[in-house]
Chains A and B, each alone.
Chain A
Amino acid sequence: MTALLEVNHVSKQFGNDSKALSDVNFTVNEGEFVSIIGPSGAGKSTLLRCINRMIDATGGEITFDNMNVMNLKKKELKMVRTRIGMIFQHYNLVNRLSVIENTLHGILGKKSTIAGVLGLYNQAEREQAVRILSMLGLGEHIYKRADQLSGGQKQRVGIARALIQNPRMLLCDEPIASLDPNSAKTIMDHLRTISSQMGITVIVNLHQVDVALKYSDKIIGINQGQVVFNGSSKDITKEDIQRIYGSEAEDLIFDIGGIHAS
């Protein structure tokens, strides 16, 4: 397996003394499903956004597909971003536009400015959008306005918008944090399928340790901006969880034994 993403000694400083990330190192292989877990404010979102440079890291090196992301020019950065899909906790759709328009937003990065401004999409692109939406079970909602959908459906539109980019990698920032357990399961199942069947690398920030253990190949645990665990989800122990969350593992509301048994 080849490494698609390498994060070396990355740090991020906001202001003068608050360090959001310090000396973060990890690699992600092609097609892997990786979960980043850790307490609120540990730097999970910051780390995810440093990868596609929605936030600029203050030090270190990030290599995506053999390209150093840190010193790309504006135009090259946009090229890299077209190959990385992003999914958000609050879906970040344009609520007043239809499901298919929101989906087609994913290919704006490949369009000329004129075509982008006027929203000109060709037949092939529209059919592609319909195909992806049907695959995600949204076939009958294509022309509905985004604000008429439920949370789980909105998140699936978010996934469709990322998939139409034809990405090598998906970055998911707390994709199920605002969803009920059923919708959350649907979303996680879709992400798992995307990783294992389409070969797209998926990196997910998660709050739910049990979900992370169940779905991912690899877990990265973060506490106070530092990687405190990096390994297979099968190898994780009670002590590791304790180290990540900095509390007694017994206090956490899930049963680690039950997860590994199933």
Chain B
Amino acid sequence: MQADFFAKKRRNSLGFLLILGAITFGAIVITEYNLVKGFESLPRAVTWALGNFYPTQESLSRLPGILNSLLETLLVSIAATTVGASFALFFAVMGSNTTRVNAFFGSISRGIATVFRNIDVAAWAMILLFSFGQSSLTGYFALFFGSFGFLTRAFVETIDEASGGSVEALRATGASYFSIIFQSVIPSSVPQMISWVLFMIETNIRSATLIGLLTGSGIGFTFNLYYKSLNYDIASLVVITIIVAILFIESISNYVRRVIL
């Protein structure tokens, strides 16, 4: 009986590995990917990057322009996140099982958030291109919709996790709905929510670079411009500034998290 149980478990693991292997092999055959050639080309790619993809003395003269568009991207990301967060807070309070007004409004607001979350930021950018054309406004709205959907979900979970007990206690004292929200829900969930907003800002700065390629704005567009015109040295400078900016923002948000949590 016991031997059977463990033998069955081993058979299951083995079967799972076999299926995984079969899928991998099938995918390689269908896409005509040559495993050996793929790995062989890696060193060549590195050699090329080392030979061409580094900033030179002249490319530094373009730095002010690059920093300008980087700043635009950063500000758009932060603005989209914070505005998205305030809408998300409202929808999360409506959608959380602990604080919703009733089941009907609860499922409506969670439904809206789910739609916004499940459409990817890049897909939003393409949809919005039709209405707003190639401008930073398109990027802004794409990031805003994506952040709104994701943050609503994160905030709902934060509220449920952090304030279930104290909400029950305050309801039992006869406190009004808004007193409960402001005296119990917000104080217990704010640090976790700020942490989510910081995470969203970091994510959005990364996505904003890609969105910029689509919408022709910000640092993504700058990179595309120099890359397409074969100015690899300046393009690499763009990449370096992006990496530095992301590391900088991340260290700031880590610091803020340490202080508030």
Contacts and interface: CB of A to CB of B under 8 A. Distances in A.
Interface of A: 52, 54, 77-82, 84-86, 88, 90-97, 105-111, 113, 116-119, 158, 161-162, 165, 171
Contacts of A162: 173
B188 A117 contact: no
B191 to A, nearest CB: 7
Contacts of B175: 78, 105, 108-109, 116
A124 to B, nearest CB: 18
Contacts of B172: 52, 54, 81, 84, 86, 171
B174 A80 contact: yes
B191 A113 contact: no
Given A88-B169, A117-B182, A119-B182, A94 B174 contact: no
Contacts of A105: 169-170, 173, 175, 183-184
Contacts of A111: 179
29 contacts: A52-B172, A78-B174, A78-B175, A78-B176, A81-B174, A84-B172, A88-B169, A91-B165, A92-B166, A92-B169, A94-B183, A96-B187, A96-B191, A97-B187, A105-B173, A105-B175, A107-B173, A108-B175, A108-B179, A108-B180, A109-B174, A109-B175, A109-B176, A116-B178, A116-B183, A117-B178, A117-B179, A161-B169, A165-B173
Contacts of A110: 174
Given A105-B183, A116-B179, A119-B182, 7 more contacts: A81-B172, A93-B166, A94-B163, A95-B188, A116-B176, A116-B182, A117-B182
Contacts of B187: 94, 96-97
B164 to A, nearest CB: 8
Contacts of B173: 81-82, 85-86, 105-109, 161-162, 165
B120 interface: no
A94 B176 contact: no
Q: What are the 7 closest A-B residue pairs judged by CB atoms, nearest first? A: A116-B179, A109-B174, A81-B174, A92-B165, A108-B175, A92-B169, A86-B172
Nearest to B189: A96
A94 B166 contact: yes
A79 B170 contact: no
Interface in B28-85: none
A113 B166 CA distance: 18
Given A94-B184, A105-B183, A108-B170, A113 B165 contact: no
A96 B183 contact: no
Interface string B185-198: 00110010000000
Contacts of B178: 113, 116-117
Contacts of A91: 165
B171 interface: yes
Most buried by A among B168, B176, B187: B176
B182 to A, nearest CB: 4
A41 B46 CA distance: 65
A171 B172 CA distance: 10
Interface of B: 163, 165-166, 168-176, 178-184, 187-188, 191
A93 B165 CA distance: 7
Contacts of A117: 178-179, 181-183
B87 to A, nearest CB: 20
A96 B184 CA distance: 9
A83 B178 CA distance: 20
Contacts of A109: 173-176
B51 to A, nearest CB: 55
Contacts of A52: 172
A58 B181 CA distance: 28
A36 B170 CA distance: 23
Contacts of A161: 169, 173
A171 B173 CA distance: 11
A81 B183 CA distance: 18
Contacts of A85: 173
A113 B179 contact: yes
A86 B187 CA distance: 21
Contacts of A95: 188
Contacts of B163: 94
B174 to A, nearest CB: 3
Contacts of B179: 108, 111, 113, 116-117
A219 B176 CA distance: 34
A52 B171 CA distance: 10
A113 B174 contact: no
